[in-house]
Structure 1
C-alpha cells in the first residue's frame, strides 16, 4: 500500500514537471533533474503511463551480444568476482552493451520471477530513451558512474529499486558497456549506496584495463602509477606504444595525461597525439631499457605536463614484432597470410576475416558491403587467392564504370555479326572469361534492372547466353559482389531485384570505414610500406605526419590514403615525410599552431623572406598557388615559410 502511494505521488510530481508547473526539486540531485527533463522534453515519455519491461528475444539479444563478445570474454572473471561480493547483500549484476541491452546477468534463482518483472534480467532494455531515468541509461548518456536510488527513477514501476552503474570505455574513451548492480529492496537513504558506487567504479576500471591489455597484448605497453609499490600489481595508467615511441592508445588515466599535456602545450592541436618522449621526460631507449635499469624493473620518469613523478614498468608483447604467440593446434586459427595482412587488431575486421576464412573454400556467393575505398576488391581477391579456385581466373567487373549501352555485351559476350560495331570475330563475355574461377561484380547496385534479370538466370542455371547465340554456354563460376549502396533500400524503392539480392547474399561481409577502424595505425603503415616497396627512393613517415594521418577522417577511406601517401612519396625532397609533405586535405583536422619562429611580417628582414611574404599575401596564403608560381612543391614552400618565420594569419594567436 505504501509503495502504491509513493508511486502516485511520484507520478504527480513528474506530470507537473512535464506540464511546466512549479515543482519543488530542491531535494533532488542535479544529475537526476537533468535526466527527468530529458525524459519529458526530448524523449516525450509520459510519467502517467508507466512502461512495461522490455526484454529482447533471444536472437535479438545475441545480436547485441556478438559485438561485445571479446569484452565479455575478458570481463567474465571480474563479473563473477564482483557478484560474489554483493550477492549476499541482495544485489544482482547486469552487464549491458552501449545501447543499454543486458548481455550478461547474475542473480539468485529464488528471486527469478520478481527480477524478471522488475527488468533485472538477461535481454532487458535499460536505454534511458525507453526506461527513463535509471542507472544504466543515465550512465551511458553522461559517461560517468551513477547511483539511481528508488524514487530517483523516472518510471514509477522502478521506484522500489536501487541501481548503481559505471560505464566501461574502450581505448578511445567511448562507452562500450555498462556494469551495474541492483537490488529490489534497500535502505531509504541514497547515501547507503556509496559503497556500491565505489565498488562498481573499481570493477569497471579493472575490466577496462584487462580489456586494454588483451587488446594490445602484441604491443609494448607502459604501465605506471604515482606510487612505485603499486605499479606491478595495480598500476593505474596504461599506454601502448610503438618501438619508436609513437603512442598507439591509452587507458583512461593515460588519456587524461595526454590531454593535460596538450592543454599545457597549445601549439599541439587536440587531434595530435604526442610521442611518449614528449609526454614523459626521457629518451625512447630509456623506456625500452626499463627491464635492465633496475632490479624491480621499474623506472621513474617525470610527466612534463604535471611535473609529477611516474613510476613506469614495461609489458612486452608475447612475441617481439607484434606476432601472436602460437596457440595449441586445436585452438589456433588457421594462418591465411593473404587475409591476415588486411587487418591488425580491429574487432570489426577480425569478425570479417574470421568469417572470410570459413567462406574461402566454399562455393557460397558473397556480398561485400562498405563505403567506397574500404578495400572491397582487395578482400574479394584475397578470398579467391586463398580458396579452391585460386588457380582459376579472377575477373573483376566494375558495374558503375561500364556504360549502360555496353554492359550487356561486356558481361555476356556476343557472336560474330550480333550487332553493328562489334568485333568481327565476336567476343567472349566477362562471365565466360571467369569460367573455372571467380567473377567479382563491383558496385552491383549500379547494374541496370534489365540486366539484373539476366544475371539472375546465370546464377540460377550456371549458363550464359551470348548476344546472337541460340544455345546457352555452361559456366563454372563463383560470384562475389560488392557495393557501397543500401541494397535493402533499393529493393524497397524498386531499383534492385529482391530475388537477385538473396542469390548474391549467401553471406555478407561488411568492411568498416577507415575512420571507424581501431587499427588505423597498422593500415597506414602497411600502405606506406607497400608503396615504398614499389619505389627506388624510400622515405619514412615522421611522427607528425603519422599523427596527421591518424587524425584525418578519410572520406575516401584506404583508396584516399593510398593517393595521399603516393603524393607525399612523389613530392618529398628528403628521406622523411613530414606533415608538410601531405596533401592539404589531410591537414583539415590538424590545425597548425603558431611556429616557435613566428614573427610579425614587419620583422621579416631578409629580401628572400620579404619576397616570399609578398607573394603569399598576393595569393591570400594559398600555398598551392604560390608553389605553382615558384615552380616548386608545396613542402618546399612550407619549409621556406618556416625558415623565415612566416605563419598564415588565421594560424596566429
Structure 2
C-alpha cells in the first residue's frame, strides 16, 4: 500500500483530529462514531489507499441464491429508482448484511468508472473493509444515512456521495441495504426519502412473496391511501393470527416491533374478525370498508383478500366485480389497485348497469370489440371509465387474457416509454437478465387500457401509432420486434378534437383510437342515481346506515363535479359523522355549505376530510392525491417526496421544515405550489 497525495493526507489529518478531539462535525454523529470505529476497532489508516475486497464468483452466487427472493423483489424497484433519479453518474446498489453487493443498477459507463474501487457485484463495503461509507455505516448503525464526499473515511472515496437505507425482512430484521452512490451533488434528503419509499415497496413485495398462503390485509386511517405506498399491510393466517406486518402497519397501530404484533389475532387489533372483513371487502368490490381499532375509538379503512395462492380467488373476486361494476373507480387516479376483479371468465350481464345509456353503450361496445375495433371512452373525472373498460374487456374475444391498465397522467414522462414498451437486458447495468416486458406485451392476448391518453407525450404518441398500425412492439435498447394482439380501450376527460386543433395531440392517432367513441354520463345525469347513492351508502356505512329525507334531497340535487369518486368520499364521511344514526343535513357539511343548483361541468378537487389520527400532534390536513393542475415530472416527484415526509411526521409542518432545513414559510410556499393543502397551521 502507498500513501495518498497531499490532499489525501490533509483529509487523513482531519479524520484523526476529529476522532482525537471527540467532537461532532456538522452534527453528523453517525459519521464521527464510524470514524472512531474505523480507527480504534478496525485499525484502518485513512491516508492509505484501500485495496478493493471482492469475493470470488462462487461465493457471490451462493449469497445471491441465499437472498434470491430479496433480489427478485428489488430488481424492478431499483431500476425504477434509477430512472427517477435521471443521473448517469450514479448507481443503485443492494447489499447483504455483510455489505457484499449482490445487485447493482447503473449506466455501463459509470459502472466501468467505479469498478476499480470495488463498486460492483461481489464487492465488500462493510465498515471493516471500506471504512465509513453509505452501505457499511448504514449496516453498522442500523439507521438511514448519507455520507457526503469528505465524510468518507478513506481519501480515495471522497469524490463520492452515498445515501443508504436498511431493508427489513417481514420479521423486522435487517436483511440488507439499498444505497445510491453518485459523483454528482444530489439533494441527499431528497434521495434518502426516495430510497425509503423504494425500500418500503421492496419490503411489501417481500411480504407478499414469503406469505403467499396468507390473507393480505391493507389498511390506513385515510381511505385514499389504501392500495398506496402509505398503507399498512398485514399478512394474516387462516386462523386470524398476524404473521407479518410492514412498517406503516406498526406505525399506524402504535407499535414498535413485530414482537408486539406477532401471533395476535385480527380481533385483538380491530373490532372485527377475519371472516367479517373478508365478507365486507368482497361485498364492497374491494373498496376500503370501516374497521375500528380494538379497545379504542380510532377508525381505519381496510380491505382483506383471499390468499394469492388460493386457486378460487379469481372466481370469488369475479362474483364481487360483476355485482358492483357500476359503482366506482379506484380511490385515486394515480394508482391501480392490485386487483383480481375480474380477470377472466364469463362476461357480466348488461343488466349490471341500470342506467339506460350505459346499458346501450355496453351493448354497442360488445358488438364493435367483436371485430377488434378500438374504443375511446369520454367522460368527466370519476365517472367510472376504468370500471366500464373492465366491463368491455369481459365482453370481448380477449376476455381470457389480461386486463392491463396504464394511467398516462400518473407516470413521469421519463417512465412512460419503458412502462409501455419495456426494455431489453443490458439497457441498464443490473437490469433484469431477461429485460422487462412492457405493458403492451403484457396485454398481448388481452386488453390494453390507456387512461388519460391525452397526457401521453407527442413523441410517444408516434411510437404508439406505429404499434397500432403494425401490431408489433420494439422494446427499448433493441431492434427486435414482437407481434402483439390486444383489444385497445382508451379514455380521457379532455376533448381530444380540441387538443388536435391546438397541436397537442396527433390527429392520426386520434382517428386510430376512436374506432367507436362512447360518452359516459356524469353522476348527476344518471337515471340510477338514487339506487347508486343507497348502494354506496350501504357499502361505506353498513346496512344500518340510513338517509334522512333532507339529506337525500341534498344528495340528489348536488351536481357531483367529482362524480362517483366524490360520492363515495362524501357518504363515507357522512356515515362516520352520523356514527350509526340517521344521516341528516349536518352530516353533509360540504353539500349543505354549497347549495349549487346548476350543473358544474368542470372537474373540481374532491373534499377529503381529516380522519382520526394517533398522537397529540395530528394535524387537520387535507390532501387531494391527484392535483387538478398537471405537474411536470420533477414537480410530481417532489410532491410524492413531500407527501411521504408529511406522512412520516404526522403532518406536522414544523417538523418537516426542520428535517428539510428550511423555514416554515418556504415549506408552505412549496406545498401550495405543489397543490398539497394544509387546512390549518400546525
User: TM bucket by the smaller chain?
Assistant: 0.3 to 0.5
Q: TM-score, normalised by structure 1?
A: 0.44
Q: Higher Cα Rg: structure 1 or 2?
A: 1
